């Protein structure tokens, strides 16, 4: 297969489609006197996290969604963070709350996630949100997994009956996307750092989802000819978790990094915030 025959899964195009649909909905909310509002919480000074939060805020602004940025020092305690989240829970003008992951080591991230009110859990990070997603009826599934599903849907790539191999089992990415693929009738194998002979398992995949957090981790000769490759990775220097050029040689379709899963994740977050404003906006 030549490069020309490859389908490059264009995240910017998928994101543009999602955002276009939001414009009319945001205008209708404005007629009701409601401006959707996303609150982002950044704890500590991690530069990548600060960039992600800034990108999310800018994306809100461009679409007429308001955003509140809560920035807390790395010395913040779990109790202080939970208090900040509860304040946002009680603020009727806030429709979605996003706690940027990861938080500094001294903080109990799980306890902080659990403090987010379910109706404002626009990134599906609470146990209830996670469970609803696993059952297939979440209002707001985690944004990156939902973005991966949106890309597959946009390009009408078949899932039913296909073998999907997910590399990574984090609660915000690997596990929820595994559940979503399973709910869409894929046969799913979820791999992790203790998986033996990962390459052989990936070679069986019709759909590969890379969610590892290691640059260029997935090798070209792991990819079955014709497989679809979705790279959720986002490492310093705009590098994905997939060796893009090498994997493209065998894949039939592949997401680039940047301009793949990332922009669709942000568009999904905006969509969930608008969903929440429509549901609970007053
Ligand atoms: P994470 O919490 O660090 O999880 C990484 C997963 O990869 C873990 O389940 C880990 O296994 C597994 N893993 C690590 N080394 C492995 C190996 N050698 N073989 C197989 N599996 C291995 O990361 P995350 O938050 O899920 O994020 C994953 C990637 O997605 C990162 O690059 C991150 O930047 C990116 N990301 C992108 C977006 C976006 O919008 N595009 C959003 C979120 C995250 P164990 O469970 O055994 O430790």
Q: Which domains does the chain have, with CATH numbers?
A: 33-117 (3.40.50.10860), 143-261 (3.40.50.720)
Q: How far apart are the CA of 174 and the centre of ligand 1, in A?
A: 7
The position carrying tokens 């939902």 is 146
How far apart CA 209 and CA 228 sit, in angstroms, is: 9
Q: How confident is the model at residue 2, as a pLDDT?
A: 58
> pTM score > 0.75 for this model?
yes
Sign of CA dihedral 169, 174, 179, 185: negative
Going by CA atoms, what residue is nearest to atom 17 of ligand 1? 193
Our answer to whether residue 100 is catalytic in this structure is yes
Q: How confident is the model at residue 1, as a pLDDT?
A: 55
Exactly one of 100, 132, 175, 271 is catalytic; which is it? 100
Q: How far apart are the CA of 57 and the centre of ligand 1, in A?
A: 24
Exactly one of 10, 123, 241, 275 is catalytic; which is it? 123
Residues contributing to the annotated binding site for NADP(+): 168-170
Question: Can you tell me whether residue 84 is helix, strand or coil?
Answer: helix
Q: How confident is the model at residue 5, as a pLDDT?
A: 77
Quick one: how far is CA 127 from the chain centroid? Answer: 16
Tokens standing for residue 188: 């799913």
Is the CB of 59 inside a 6 Å radius of any atom of ligand 1? Answer: no
Pocket probe mutation, ligand 1, options 193, 210, 230, 270, max atoms within 8 Å of Cβ: 193
> pLDDT tens, position by position, for the chain (282 residues)?
556 578 999 999 999 999 999 999 999 999 999 999 999 999 998 988 999 999 999 999 999 999 999 999 999 999 999 999 999 999 999 999 999 999 999 999 999 999 999 999 999 999 999 999 999 999 999 999 999 999 999 999 999 999 999 999 999 999 999 999 999 999 999 999 999 999 999 999 999 999 999 999 999 999 999 999 999 999 999 999 999 999 999 999 999 999 999 999 999 999 999 999 999 887
| Rounded alpha-carbon distances, angstroms, from residue 18 to 24, 104, 233, 263, 266 | 11, 33, 21, 10, 10
Our answer to whether residue 132 is catalytic in this structure is no
CB atoms within 10 A of CB 42: 19
Q: How confident is the model at residue 12, as a pLDDT?
A: 98
Our answer to whether residue 123 is catalytic in this structure is yes
Is the CB of 176 inside a 6 Å radius of any atom of ligand 1? Answer: no
Tokens standing for residue 58: 């800018």
Going by CA atoms, what residue is nearest to atom 43 of ligand 1? 144
């Amino acid at each position: 297969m030549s490069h020309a025959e490859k389908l490059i899964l264009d995240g910017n195009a998928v994101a543009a489609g999602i955002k276009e649909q939001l414009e009319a909905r945001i205008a209708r909310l404005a007629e009701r006197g409601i401006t959707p509002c996303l609150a982002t919480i950044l704890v500590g000074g991690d530069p990548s996290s600060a960039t992600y939060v800034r990108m999310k805020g800018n994306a809100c602004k461009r679409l007429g969604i308001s955003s509140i940025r809560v920035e807390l020092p790395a010395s913040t305690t779990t109790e202080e963070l939970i208090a900040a989240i509860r304040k946002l829970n009680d603020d009727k003008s806030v429709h979605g709350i996003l706690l940027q992951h990861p938080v500094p080591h001294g903080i109990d991230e799980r306890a902080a996630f659990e403090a987010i009110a379910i109706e404002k859990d626009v990134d599906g990070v609470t146990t209830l949100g996670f469970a609803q997603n696993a059952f297939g009826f979440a209002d707001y599934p985690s944004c990156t997994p939902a973005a991966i599903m949106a890309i597959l849907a946009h390009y009408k790539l078949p899932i039913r009956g296909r073998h999907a191999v997910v590399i990574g089992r984090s609660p915000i990415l690997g596990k929820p996307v595994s559940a979503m693929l399973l709910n869409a009738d894929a046969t799913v194998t979820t791999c992790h750092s203790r998986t033996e002979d990962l390459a052989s398992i990936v070679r069986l995949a019709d759909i590969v989802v890379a969610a590892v957090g290691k640059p260029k981790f997935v090798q070209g000769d792991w990819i079955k000819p014709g497989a679809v490759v979705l790279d959720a990775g986002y490492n310093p220097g705009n590098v994905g978790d997939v060796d893009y050029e090498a994997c493209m040689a065998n894949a039939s379709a592949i997401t680039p990094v940047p301009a793949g899963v990332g922009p669709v994740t942000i568009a999904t977050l905006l969509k969930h915030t608008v969903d929440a404003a429509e549901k609970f906006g007053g």
